[in-house]
Structure 1
Amino acid sequence: MIALTLTEIAAAVRGTIRLAGDDTPETIVSGEVDTDSRAIAPGGIFVAKPGETTDGHLFVGRAIEAGAVLAIVEHPVDESVTQIVVDDVVVALADLARDVVARVRAHGRLRVVGITGSNGKTTTKNMLARILQDEGETIAPRGSYNNEVGAPLTMLRVTDATAFLVSEFGASGPGEIARLAGLVTPDIGVVLMVGMAHAGGFGGIEATTVAKSELVRAVGAGGLAVLNADDGRVASMAAIAEERGVRVRWFGQGASADVRGSDIEVTASGTRLTVTADGESLPLHLRVLGAHHVGNALASIATATALGVSLANAVARLETVELAERWRMQPLGSDRVRIINDAYNASPDSMAAALRTLAQIVGPGERTVAVLGAMSELGEYAGEEHDRIGELAVRLRIQRIVIVGTGARRMFLAAVGEGSWDGEAVFFATADEAYDYLLGELRDGDRVLVKSSNSAGLRFLGDRLGESFS
């Protein structure tokens, strides 16, 4: 975090200072901010956030041992560290992030990019950060820091030397993107796609569209909206941009896109395509697996070139990206048995895209195996969407369909009902049972997709399989 006095921090978070040791109201603090006492470094600020199972106030002492010099708390704790007492530490965290970003913007060259979408946020964020980091200091979320805690923590990492802040905005309900984006008023808002992810929390696809459009509404006047021309719901957000005096830059595969992908060829080593931006065309070998990442790459190129990066540099830097993120289309195993671990998140759209990728990358004499678990946060749509994925796996002629966990049982039943009655589809209640089966079932030439929502835990099954067949 930038250097601030205790008085300045207290004013930003609307809190009361309780001094300890030799501190005075003018003592300067500049360490990193975190809600995890295990991540605190010397000079850091610990935010004692209450949680569902524990309370950060219980870990202030541990944070002090790690080097914390300030704790932001909701009630005083009996520890020898200066504390700022606030009504709500999560609100205080947001207020501090807003203040810090505003200060850096006031006397620096900081440009802020916000990214949202039902799928692809983290991948696009990583791609864009890779392109921009050679242009100047770039701050982007670690992992999927995109909620009411993670997004402000990322914002608080900016310094006076930061050129680009790339923020990822996730949401499970209306108003969340508006609150997060409102902390920084992005110069550029990127909307990737609207799908069924978190539809249970939003109340359906149309409500999801409204929620994702909150980012376009948050872009400052004279700013830029980078929109997916291939997604009709995203494309409709251009009207909002026009109302707000925000320019639009399109990406997609259609001829009208400002940044367009064509001649797309999906292989086991990645995806090859031609990228055309503002009349210039270059080949791109995208090493991240899956045709569904083409849109993410185009969005990152559209944003980077709007920020002044040449197409040639954007393409060259993207070609160095081998992995979107751990557990996201992550190749494991070996050439003999290739495991694709994509079990960090799953929605109906990303599940379908991953299955299509599996079907596309198999070669002669190779076999497709899909290990699938439940998709979370679908609410009333969960049953029909699990049915749809089970049916799709059969229609794509996936040769072995392994369904894991009671939450995904309808996927198995749908696969059987669609025509997988000769043993192609099997069901296991636990990941351990599935692992034992797969150890005996997998053979040379198998290409194995492991896909589920984070809560299903299949990412660890993917890791075990990757190690076993490495």
Structure 2
Amino acid sequence: MIALTIAQIAHAVAGEVHLARADTLETAVSGAVDTDSRLIEAGGIFVAKPGADTDGHRFVDAAVANGAAVAIVEHVVETAPEAAVTQIVVPSAVAALADLARAVVTRVKAAEELRVVAITGSNGKTTTKNLLARILEGEGETVAPKASFNNEVGAPLTMLRVTEDTRFLVSELGASAPGEIARLAGLIDPDVAVVLMVGMAHAGGFGGIEATFQAKSELVRALRARGVAILNADDARVAAMAPLAAEREASVRWFGRGPAATDVRADDVVVTASGTSFVVTADGVSLALRLKVLGEHHVMNALAAVAAATALGVSLADAVARLETVEIAERWRMQPLGSDRIRIINDAYNASPDSMAAALRTLAQITGPGERTVAVLGAMSELGEYAEEEHDRIGLLAVRLGIQRIVVIGPDARRMFLEAVAQGSWDNEAVFFATADEAFVYLQSELRDGDRVLVKSSNSAGLRFLGDRLGESFS
């Protein structure tokens, strides 16, 4: 974080200061900010956030032991004498985290040449963020989220890593309810807004696909005046956000694979087990690109990254060269494991109907003659009233794609198994297990040379750990 005095921090978060030791209001603090006491380092700021399972106020002593210089708390914490620390008391630690992030980004944007990109969409946010960060790192210091730090806590923590030397801030903005993207985007006044797609992810929380559209469009509404909107020309709902960009006097860059993608487009797409090759055209210049990240659906994420990067002045040649160095999108996202004998694709960090369908299509595309497709599937979360219908659709799709073994795990995913059986996956082509441990025992004896195995579920189903176990077992 940039250096701020205790007085400046307190002003930013509207907090009441309780000084400790030799601190004064003019004492400068420049360490990293975190809500996890275990990650605090010397000079850092610990935000004591109450949580569902525990309360950060219990760990102020531990944060101080790790070097915390300031604690932002919701009430004064009595510490051991050796753990005395300046405390700033606020009504809400989470709100204070956001307020501090806004203050830091605003200061850096005012004083330095910092460009801010915000990315949202029902699927592809983390991959696009990583691809864009790889491109921009070649231009100057770039701050981007770790893993999927995209909520009311993770997004501000990323923003607070900005320093005077940071040239680019890439923010990934997720949401499970209306208004969340608007609040997060409002902290950073984005120069570039990227909207990838509007799909069924989190539809249960939003209340349907149209409400999801409204929520995702909050990012375009939050774009700074005369900024740039990067919009998916192939998604009718995303394309319908163009008038919102016009209200901000923002320019629009269209990306996609269809004729409406007038700025950045992909042609001649070829999908293999080692990646995807295509020709990318940006502003009339065409270059071949070989993306090592598995899955045809990641072509759109790469196009979005190219569209944003070129809007920021990066040449297409540099963007392509840097994208070709990316090995995987992120751990547990289309991550190749196992061996050439039995290939495991662990894509079980997140799942929605769109990403589940894309992963299954990829499995079918990359499996060659003499090889067998095996789909290990768990539940898709946050679908609300749409859960049964969407799980049925995935079971049907797996059968229609000719997936030869369908392994469904967990009671919340059982509808996929029942639908697969109803559609003709008989004679143990589709099997169901209540737990991942039971499925692991089955798969250890069932998998054979030439199998290509997809492990896919929402994070809450926990199948990413099953994917890791299978990868290690068959390495």
- For normalisation by structure 2, the TM-score amounts to 0.99
Report the alpha carbon displacement of residue 210 of structure 1 after superposing the two structures with TM: 0.6
2:452 match: secondary structure: strand
> Residue 277 of structure 2 contacts residue 288 of structure 2 at CA under 8 Å; is this kept in 1?
yes
Looking at structure 1, the residues matched to 416 and 373 of structure 2 have their Cα atoms a distance apart, in angstroms, of 17
5 Å matches for 1:304-319? 304-319=309-324
Matches within 5 A, 1:86-105: 86-105=90-109
Kept in 1: contact 2:346–2:467 (CA 8 A) = yes
Counterpart amino acid of residue 29 in structure 1: V
Look up the equivalent residue of 1:206 and give its one-letter code: E
Secondary structure of residue in 2 paired with 1:466: helix
Counterpart of 2:2? 2
Alignment correspondent of 1:183: 187
Which SS does the other structure have where 1:283 is aligned? strand
Residue of structure 2 equivalent to 1:278: 283
Distance 1:134 1:41 in 2: 28
Give CA deviations for 1:109-165 in whole Å, capped at 9, x if unaligned.
000000000000000000000000010100000000000000000000000111000
Offset, 1:256: 3.0
Residues 389-468 of structure 1: pairs in structure 2 closer than 5 A: 389-468=394-473
AA aligned opposite 1:219:
L
- CA–CA distance in 2 between the matches of 1:385 and 1:155? 35
- How many equivalent pairs are there? 470
Distance 2:203 2:385 in 1: 9
Shift, 1:175, TM fit: 0.3
- Equivalent AA in structure 2 for residue 442 of structure 1: L
State the shift of 1:239 in Å.
1.1
Does residue 43 (structure 1) correspond to residue 47 (structure 2)? The answer is no
Distance (Å, rounded) in 2 between the aligned partners of 1:69 and 1:108: 26
Output the CA distance in 2 between the equivalents of 1:118 and 1:452: 15
One-letter amino acid matched to 2:57: H
Partner SS state of residue 190, structure 1: strand
Match for residue 131 of structure 1? 135
The residue number in structure 1 matching 2:300 is 295
**CA distance in structure 1 between the aligned counterparts of 2:408 and 2:297, rounded to whole angstroms:** 23
User: Once superposed, what is the RMSD of the aligned Cα atoms?
Assistant: 0.5
Which residue does the alignment assign to 1:343?
A: 348
Instruction: Return the offset for 1:53.
Output: 1.2
* Cα displacement (A) at 1:255: 2.5
Q: What residue number does 1:355 align with?
A: 360
**Match runs of 1:217-228 below 5 Å:** 217-228=221-232
Question: Residue 20 of structure 1 aligns with which residue?
Answer: 20
**1:441: how far off?**
0.3
Q: What secondary structure, in the 3-state scheme, does the structure 1 residue paired with 2:466 have? A: helix
Tell me whether 239-248 or 213-222 shows the greater mean CA deviation: 239-248
Match of 1:388 among 382, 388, 393: 393
Which of residues 193, 201, 205 in structure 2 aligns to 1:201?
Answer: 205
For structure 2, which runs of at least 5 residues remain unmatched after alignment? none
Secondary structure, aligned partner of 2:38: helix
1:378-411 per-residue CA deviation (whole Å, 9 max, x = no partner) reads: 0000000000000100000000000001110011
Q: CA deviation at 1:423?
A: 1.4
Aligned with 1:233: secondary structure? Answer: helix
Partner residue of 2:67?
67
Alignment deviations for residues 161-220 of structure 1 (CA, whole Å, 9 cap, x no partner): 110000000000000000000011100000000100000000000000010000000001
The answer as to whether partners of 2:378 and 2:458 remain within 8 angstroms in 1 is yes
Q: Percent identity?
A: 77
Separation in structure 2 between the aligned mates of residue 402 and residue 160 of structure 1, nearest angstrom: 51
- Give the C-alpha shift of residue 367 in structure 1: 0.3
Matches of 1:248 and 1:85, distance apart in 2: 43
- The runs of 5 or more residues in structure 1 that have no matched partner are none
Counterpart-to-counterpart distance in 2, 1:72 and 1:438: 49
Amino acid of the structure 2 residue aligned with 1:412: F
User: Which residue of structure 2 lines up, in the alignment, with residue 167 of structure 1?
Assistant: 171
Match of residue 34 from structure 1: 34
Structure 1 CA distance, aligned partners of 2:260 and 2:332? 34
* 8 Å contact kept, 2:294–2:334: yes
Alignment of 1:358-377 (within 5 A): 358-377=363-382
- TM-superposed CA distance for 1:293, in Å, is 0.3
Q: Is the 8 A contact 2:234 2:260 kept in 1?
A: no
SS of 1:242's equivalent in the other structure is: helix
2: CA distance between counterparts of 1:421 and 1:448?
19
CA distance in 2, matches of 1:392, 1:278: 37
The answer to whether the 8 Å contact 2:227/2:248 transfers is no
- In structure 2, C-alpha distance between the alignment counterparts of 1:255 and 1:142, rounded to whole Å: 35
- In the alignment, what sits opposite 1:148? 152
CA distance in 2, matches of 1:423, 1:440: 14
What is the CA distance between 1:422 and its match in structure 2? 2.1
Q: Which stretches of structure 1, 4 residues or longer, exceed 6 Å deviation after superposition?
A: none
2:285 alignment partner AA: E
CA drift of 1:232 comes to 0.3
Match of 1:240 in 2: 244
Question: CA offset at residue 47 of structure 1?
Answer: 0.1
Mapped partners of 2:259, 2:309: distance in 1:
20
Matches of 2:217 and 2:340, distance apart in 1: 43
CA shift for structure 1 position 328:
0.1
Deviation, 1:242, is 1.1
Letter matched to residue 62 of structure 1: A
2:204 and 2:470 map into 1 onto residues whose CA distance is 32
Q: Secondary structure at the match of 1:401?
A: strand
